[in-house]
Amino acid sequence: MTEFSSRVEQVSISGIREVFEAAGEDAINLGLGQPDFPTPDHAREAAVDAIRSGKVDAYTSNKGTLELREAIAEKHDRDNDLAVDPEDVIATSGGSEALHIALEAHVDAGDEVVFPDPGFVSYDALTHLAGGTPKPVGLREDLTMDPATVEDAITEDTAAFVVNSPANPTGAVQSPEDMREFARIASDHDVLCVSDEVYEHQVFEGEHRSPAEFDETGNVVVVNACSKAYSMTGWRLGWVTGSNERIERMLRVHQYAQACASAPAQYAAEAALTGPQDPVVEMREAFEARRDVLLEGFEEMGLECPTPKGAFYAMPKVPEGWVEEVIDRGVVVVPGDAFGENGDGYARISYATDMETLKEAIDIMAEATAAIRE
């Protein structure tokens, strides 16, 4: 058998998937990063109408339909006070592809990519696949990423750093001051800041701000998606926006890897972005209520947990053996070290499940905690 590329040999199936496969069929799944709400009806109907009319039978523009890109530009104006040219947007196959093409277009062999640890599993893997060198950095006590730590990590070999707020797996929300600093760092050191804003609308405390708001040199690109905001994970529709020069380079990768995002999903996303935003608010309010119940449960168990101010994840500090004990009792959680070395001693809990199921899981976790401490 022929050899495999060194890049792919450095990447393995994520620890999240390993946990899923080890769990029983009847287990309560608190490991899945997916909203448990339906996709809004108006988004579904837009896709159905496009299919029935034959609009989706051919390729769209590589960048996506003009109407979708205009809707994305309007969204950035409405939500972020950002002026985005629709020509500087690429519709992608989820936020995952947006991250992939951003790194592929900017990272050469051996270039360093700085990202949070613990952080989203794709940052490390996609850096390897681009031929780069991962450079994870630790977080503050509240699990936010300190701009000073990022700046200290930058060398002449650094191509990019990744900011994720609200964050997966921590639920942490960066402050506006932090975001301003990240934009400054990108400018002063002439490196790319990739801002992963997929959880933008799930903010309970503080406010979501983008480093793109403070970017004056074109060194920030923004990755976003409909997946979490509109419960459209299966539709695989995201986007990336940045300066025209950067978009044109990312388009070269996207064109050959993907050609264009799924046409039905593009029509659904356009409707989601331009239609009623009530479902976004309803989901956010439900996630916040669940978060509060979960934190109360952790407090009663005696588990320390930095308060997640966004997304739908919590990362409590847990005793040795806790994750295994909880999984054995039928609740799927993810060990913190699946998200980086600094996640060791933590667990990631997703509260993207209904309140009744969440309370049942909390009772089981409490029993597991008591058993570990006996």
- Tell me: the pLDDT tens digits for 284-339? 999 999 999 999 999 999 999 999 999 999 999 999 999 999 999 999 999 999 99
Residue 42: phi, psi to the nearest 5? Answer: -65, -30
Percent of the chain with pLDDT over 90: 93
pLDDT of residue 32: 87
Q: And the tokens for 286?
A: 């439900």
pLDDT digits (tens, 9 = 90+) for 267-281: 999 999 999 999 999
Residue 218 in this model has a pLDDT that exceeds 90: yes
Q: 4, 30, 28, 95: which is closest to 335 by C-alpha?
A: 30
| Res. 20: pLDDT tops 70 | no
Position of tokens 């809990």?
A: 349
Q: Is 279 in a helix, a strand, or coil?
A: helix
Report pTM. 0.96
Position 149, amino acid: T
Instruction: Provide mean pLDDT across the span 223-235.
Output: 98
Q: How confident is the model at residue 2 (pLDDT cuts 50, 70, 90)?
A: confident
109-139 pLDDT, tens digit each: 999 999 999 999 999 999 999 999 999 999 9
